[in-house]
Structure 1
Amino acid sequence: MELQRYEKAKAYVYEQFAKINNEPLRIAALTHTAMVDSCITLLAISRSSALEKAKIAALFHDYAQYIDNCAHSEHARLSSLHAHQYLTQAKEFKVYEVDDICFAIAQHSKKEIFDSPLCELLKDADILARFLEDPNKPLTGIARQRLIDALADINN
């Protein structure tokens, strides 16, 4: 399992996060991104999905929320633009890979909509990570069902 492109992207993202002056925001960026990365790894393996693309999507999924401190309603779209810029400048990704990753990032906040397998991985990993970060926070509706389904996939 080769993850060289992921390792480069991870170094870039974490280098950018290290520059965040607001300590609570920097800590949130590092911890949540790491948690989503771990969760997406489990889910991608359990669902036999492309691991490297999934892990790169996890790295960038909330990027703008932490780097730009943007409104939550804009973070998915803006994060996908940051990812697109990085991925195209890296010149190591095929156009369809960039499109898949960026689409998943742009869609990850729309938990009630079902999208591509990569989108679903990212949405489910985000919910699983939020649950693991605060298991006392109540989950209802689609978020609760996504969590149950994700846990079942990992268990199988």
Structure 2
Amino acid sequence: MERYNKVKDHVYGTYHKINNELLRTAAFLHTNSVDNCITLLAISRNLPVELAKIAALLHDFAQYAQNCPHKDHARLSSLYAHQYLEQSGLFKMREIDEIGYMIGQHSYKNHIDSPMCELLKDADVLARFLEDPYQTFSGAKKERLLNACADLN
């Protein structure tokens, strides 16, 4: 988990520099929430916890740190993650590719991808639910939420 802690320090250190208080608060809240949810789901699904948690940390990075439009955030966060993880020298290229792919696909909640991609999508939906349990979920998001909750039994 040493690599996770280094990425976490980088992400949260960057978030501390966000001037807009509402954006900074949202960045910390949602990133932490997805991180916690992905941990539980990864353990329940017997998937690599450290890589999952690193993807959770970086999945919305461009949206928060670079204040990019929501429609571009998954792609731009994926590109940032790939560059940052490669420059860190801490990861094998296959790990970087997997994390980058997970992040790049996480907005496509209606599509089925690899187990790791599904893990991030489900953790993202579960986190959004926990952040506001009174919001309405329908279609693929509702199905993901129910499946994620079932996996936690």
TM-score range (shorter-chain normalised) is over 0.9
Deviations 1:54-92 (CA, angstroms, capped at 9, x unpaired) = 000000000000011111100000001111111001111
TM-score normalized with structure 1 length: 0.97
**Structure 2 counterparts to residues 1-150 of structure 1, below 5 A:** 3-150=1-148
Amino acid of the structure 2 residue aligned with 1:12: H
Gaps of 5+ in 2: none
Deviations 1:3-54 (CA, angstroms, capped at 9, x unpaired) = 1100000000000000000000000000000000000000000000000000
Which SS does the other structure have where 1:7 is aligned?
A: helix
Gaps of 5+ in 1: none
TM-score normalized with structure 2 length: 0.99
Distance 2:14 2:81 in 1: 13
Which runs of 4 or more aligned residues in structure 1 lie more than 3 Å from their structure 2 counterparts after TM superposition? none
Tell me the C-alpha RMSD between the 2 structures. 0.5
User: 1:105, CA displacement in angstroms?
Assistant: 0.1
User: 1:125, CA displacement in angstroms?
Assistant: 0.2
Distance 1:151 1:24 in 2: 29
Distance 2:16 2:64 in 1: 11
* 1:153 partnered with 2:151: yes
- Tell me the number of residue pairs that the alignment of Structure 1 and Structure 2 aligns: 153
Which SS does the other structure have where 1:137 is aligned?
A: coil
Percent of aligned positions with the same letter in both sequences? 60
Distance 1:60 1:28 in 2: 14
Which SS does the other structure have where 2:134 is aligned?
A: coil
Amino acid of the structure 2 residue aligned with 1:152: A
Amino acid of the structure 1 residue aligned with 2:140: I
Distance 1:138 1:53 in 2: 30
